[in-house]
Each structure stands twice: as structure tokens, then as C-alpha cells.
Chains A and B, each alone.
Chain A
Amino acid sequence: MSISPGDPGQFPGPGAPQVPHARLDRRQVVSGFLFGCGIAASVIDLFIFHLVLQWHHFYDRSTPEVALIADGFFHAFGWFITVAGLFLLADVRRRSGINWRRWAGATATGVGLFQLFDGVVNHKVLRIHQIRYDVDVLPYDVVWIGSALIILAVGSFVLWRTRPREARATTRGREGT
């Protein structure tokens, strides 16, 4: 079951709130992307690295007040976009069905982009916190940023391969062209 433009049978008519193909496809990609960022933020980063391993936290560079505020918003956003991504997924699914490969590609892109942002901007540029302390951090950085790049590349490639037909035909594809 996938989004295939040109098949009117898959979409509700004007009696329903109109959601055009392009928007529905965008919603599907946004859903995967938000969910990817969400699990990267609240599951992978917050849960595994902050709470379970306790390798790092956000308390390093700035004042404790700034760290607390950043942490609070990070926490709130993490949960919010995880739930938002799942509900958008349910919405696209009931309207047209999901192209799961495309959704998985968007999710991987979200995970990769979040990890890359965290690894480069937070760890290296702003130096808010590091992955680990009291060890040579270089191998950890290489693994963190390297795996982020690989996940991001795989996700983007899948997104590009699964772009809707109309986008391919008119070369208006948002990603990959």
C-alpha cells in the first residue's frame, strides 16, 4: 500500500478536508523525520546516553541555569515530536496508506540529522557537552559523527529513491535532485 499519484481511489473527495497528494507525501516525510528526531532525542540520546550509561549530561559549558532551561525544552520537544510524528503517521495511513520504505527513509534521515547536529554543533562547535569524559574522546567522536553521516546518507538515499512519480517526472523533487 503506497502513495501513488493518479489513483483517485486512494483519496477522499471534496466532501472531505482536502489534502492534496504533494501535501500528503510531505506529511508522510515530516512524520518520519519528526519521529526520527524524536527517538534520537528522547530514546537514543536522553535515555541511553544520559540516563542509562550516564556518560554525559547538559551541565558543562554554560551556567547551570542555562543548562537547566535548555534541558527542559529539549525534554519537552523530544516527547512532543515523537508523539506528533506517530500521529501524523496514523493520519497519512488512514487517508492513503503509507509507503513504509519512504517513511523509514525519513525516519533514518531524522535520526542521522539529529545525531549529526548533536555531534558537530553541540559537542564540537558549542562544546556544550562531550560524549564521554576522562578518556580520549576522538574514537567516540569518530563513531558518533561517522554513524550519523552513514544513517543520514542511507536515509536520504532511500528518500530520493522513493520520491513520488510526479516529482520525478517534472524534476521538481524536493530531495536528491
Chain B
Amino acid sequence: MNRQGASAHGSHHGSEALTWVVFDSFIITVLVVMAVGYAVALRVSRGRGSWPVYRTTLWYLGVACLGVGLIGPIASAGHTSFTAHMFVHLLVGMVGPLLLVLAAPVTVALRALPLTSARWLSRTLRSLPVRIITHPLSAVLLNAGGLWLLYTTDLYHAMHSSVPVHALVHLHLFLAGYVLTASLVGVDPAPHRASMRMRSAALILFIAAHQILAKWLYAHPPDVVGRADGELGAQLMYYGGDVVDVSLIVLLFAGWYAATRPRVTRAARWPAEHPQDRFGSPRR
């Protein structure tokens, strides 16, 4: 757990190196809980039918993304290099949340929890505050707004000089990314899922805001960042963001495509009620 940034500062501020150790230990604990929790939940609920292997794979890939982004060499490089910082931003704020959302953790939890706890969880997820925060527009505001604050104010500087600020920024980055992804293309039960039109508008708004910020950063990187580093980092944000954004668009429409699937079973089951339905199967 020897962080370049931490050891460099360590000689001046012994307490800061200690705070980094606390931060790293905390992250490792959270990641282990996430990894073990999913496995335990699957094991507890194994009587409830099979669970697709790819969802489990997506969960562990997502946890790995957070791990690479928050601890280890790339995370350390992110303290001094804007490009590495942007790579961390992609992993923790976009790719990681997308993988974790697609692993359907809420469904896993609902399958595994005892009845009363499951009821409590679903009641909590239906509550007004959660509904407001998980609305696509508030999620866009939280996500894009947070990014604009981070890169257009002194916050970027602050997060690299204070461990608690660093931790809070990354927590926000991850949560905002998760909530936005879940509100747009989530596979977990969502009793108050916004309409396709609303989600489309929110996604276009988010892509525009994200890409405008990436281009703006190309010309105006944070003060402490060198020119070449700033340009490379902004390009990483732009093109890396594009890959995730197009995936989100495809997933959004794939969800619509599955939801509007022509269902012919009812017509096939009661042909007598609707004699005209005898031809009711869609031809390909």
C-alpha cells in the first residue's frame, strides 16, 4: 500500500501518509464486502432458480474497475498526472458503475434477503427521496453538475491536497455514475422508471454536457496541470466517454426493443375470442 503521492508527502506530513493508509484500507474493505456479499447472496438464493453467469462476471469486473481506479499504481499516478486522473474518472465514474448496474445487485439482494428485510429494501427504494434522486434529470444534474464543479473550481486542487476531499469526490463520482446509469438502463426492478422519452432526453443532455466539458478542459485544464497532460487527459475523457455513451444509447434502445416485443401468447391461447388473431404471429 505504498502510494507514490503518500510517500512523497510522507516525509513532510506523517499524518497524511497515515490517512492514505486509512483510505486504502477502507476501500479494500468495501471492495471485499462487495465481492463476498454478491457471492454469499447468490449462494443463499441458489434455491430460487439459476442466475446468469454473465451478470456475476459483470459484477466482479465492475469491482475490479473500482479497485484499479482507487488503489494501486494508476490511482497513485492520478495524484500527479491529469491523464491518469481522467482514466480513474472513467473507471470509477462510468465503466465501473455500468458493469455493476448490469450485474443487477438489487435483484440479487431481494432474492437473498429474508422476507422482512427484502420488504424493507423495496420500500426504501420506493420512498420519495430515492425516487427524486434516481429520476434521470436529477441524476444528470448530480453527475454532470458534480463534474463541472470539480473541474471549474478549486475543488480539483483540493481533492489532491486533502484525503477526505479526495474520498468524498470519488464517492460522489461513483454514486452519481451508478444512479445515472441505473436510472437510464438499469435492469433491477424500478417501480418508477421514467418514460423512454424522458430517459432519451436525459441521456442526450448528459452526453452533451460531458463532451462539452471534455472539450472545454482541452483548452482550459486545471491550473496545476501541464498543457500536454491536460490535452491528453481531455481527449481520454472525450473518446473514452464516447465509448461508454454509445454503449448507454445502445442499452437504452435494447431495453426499449425488449419491452415493446410483440407478445402473441395471449392471442395464441384464446384464438376463439379473437378469431382474427389466428394469424397473430409475427413473421420475420
Contacts and interface: CB of A to CB of B under 8 A. Distances in A.
Q: At the interface, is chain A mostly helix, strand, loop or mixed?
A: helix
B142 to A, nearest CB: 18
B209 interface: yes
Interface in A61-119: 64, 68-69, 71-73, 75-77, 79-80, 83-84, 86-87, 90-91, 93-97
B249 A80 contact: yes
A56 to B, nearest CB: 16
Contact of A83 (B253, B263, B268, B277): B253
Given A91-B257, A97-B284, A83 B250 contact: yes
Which 8 A-B pairs have CB atoms at the shortest separation, nearest pair first? A15-B267, A13-B277, A13-B280, A15-B266, A72-B212, A76-B207, A87-B253, A16-B262
B215 A84 contact: no
Contacts of B276: 8, 13-14
Given A76-B204, A79-B245, A80-B203, A14 B267 contact: yes
5 contacts: A1-B283, A73-B208, A80-B204, A80-B249, A84-B200
B249 A17 contact: no
A68 B280 contact: no
Contact of A10 (B204, B250, B265, B283): B283
B215 A71 contact: yes
A13 B211 contact: no
Contact of A79 (B207, B219, B265): B207
B281 interface: yes
A95 B253 contact: no
Contacts of B262: 12, 16-17, 94-95
B256 interface: yes
B195 interface: no
B282 interface: yes
Contact of B263 (A15, A69, A75): A15
A33 B284 CA distance: 22
A161 to B, nearest CB: 24
Contacts of A68: 212, 215-216
